[in-house]
Amino acid sequence: MIKIGNIELPDHPLLLAPMEDVSDPPFRRLCKKHGADLMYSEFISSEGLIRDAMKSKMKLDIFDYERPVGIQIFGGDEEAMAQSARIVETVQPDLVDINFGCPVKKVVSKGAGAGVLKDIDLMIRLTKAVVNSTHLPVTVKTRLGWDEDSINIDEVAERLQDVGVQALTIHARTRAQMYKGHSDWTHIERIKNNPRIQIPIFGNGDIDSPQKALEYKETFGLDGMMIGRAAIGYPWIFDEIKHFFNTGEILPPTTIKDRLDAAKNHLIWSMEWKGERLGIVEMRRHYTNYFKGIHGFKPHRLQLVTTDDPIELLALFDKIADEYKDYVIE
């Protein structure tokens, strides 16, 4: 059993990555239903929380059926990070996670996310400010370093543990790689094998199949793994990996009905949480992923992304289900 503070997780837990504009409550609900053991909110700007920015505050919504669930914050100012952690604590998540890994320019240019990889002392000060401002367990997600010539994760892991971080997730790429090239989990394996490291170490990067998940589990010996992009439009990845871990067998492929039911639930829950209009519009980005590889689906996807009336949209799902009732996904 893996423990983060008082949170108990199963052996080799599967974590859902915090992904901007993806990891909202409706999506998390689907992933929880299909086997995710620990989930995180989309990352939230500490400055946005303090300004009471509507979008940032909305990201604080969590629900009991999601637990355990963490809220992830980012920022480059110690006082703002401390203050935002205190705000986060008021909604009673199970933990607070700090993002030191986001590589996108708009975050890095503010000295936050992966931008902090250039200044380990600042990273430690920001982390300490959060740890000292909350009673919740504090965890961190980061990358190997800024680029290939400045991989500093060994020092980072030890110093984060020393200031009170209770688990560490490492995306096995540098900031310079963004999401390209191959992740290199040998660096994370080295952290896990460091006798000084006592906290759980989770790996992230390139887990996109049960076979690869088992290979990485057996090869690198980490405490668990975080899955991000492979779960977008495919929440079944968690069930499939767990089944393969336990039995060595691959679950049968999802059916068109499985995918339609998941997308329909995702839409319904999005409308309930965001309101009808916003729920419908923001759901449109997900349809391509749900129905990837289904022959002749393009006209139906066009209808899904252009229909504005919720009753017509839900009826459209039923119509598509009837049309594809004999279709087998290969």
128 is in an annotated binding site: no
Residue where the block lists tokens 């839409």: 267
* Interacting residues of 261 by C-beta distance below 8 A, sequence separation 6+: none
Please give the backbone phi and psi of residue 95, each rounded to the nearest 5 degrees, phi first. -160, 165
Query: Quick one: CA torsion of 178, 179, 184, 189, rounded to 10 degrees?
Result: 90
Alpha carbon of 119 to those of 115, 116, 123, 289, 312: distances in Å? 8, 5, 6, 37, 53
Residue tagged active-site, from 102, 129, 201, 263: 102
Q: Is 228 annotated as a binding residue?
A: yes
Show Cβ contacts of residue 276 under 8 Å, excluding neighbours closer than 6 positions: 310
Give the pair of three-digit tokens for residue 245: 């871990």
Is 35 marked within a binding site?
no
Rounded CA-CA distance 197/115 in Å is 24
**171 annotated to a ligand binding site:** yes
Contact 63, 36 (CB under 8 A): no
CA-CA distances (angstroms) from residue 227 to 35, 118, 202?
12, 26, 10
* Residue 266 assigned as binding residue: no
Cα(113)–Cα(327) distance, integer angstroms: 44
Structure tokens at 327: 């279709």
Which phi and psi angles does 298 have, rounded to 5°?
-55, -45
285 to 249, 267, 321: CA distances (angstroms) = 32, 11, 20
Distance, in Å, from the CA atom of 219 to the CA atom of 227, rounded to the nearest integer, reads: 17
As a residue count, the chain comes to: 330
Q: 102 an active-site residue?
A: yes
| Annotated binding-site residue numbers | 72, 141, 171, 228-229
Q: Which residues are catalytic?
A: 102
Binding-site entries for FMN: 72, 141, 171, 228-229
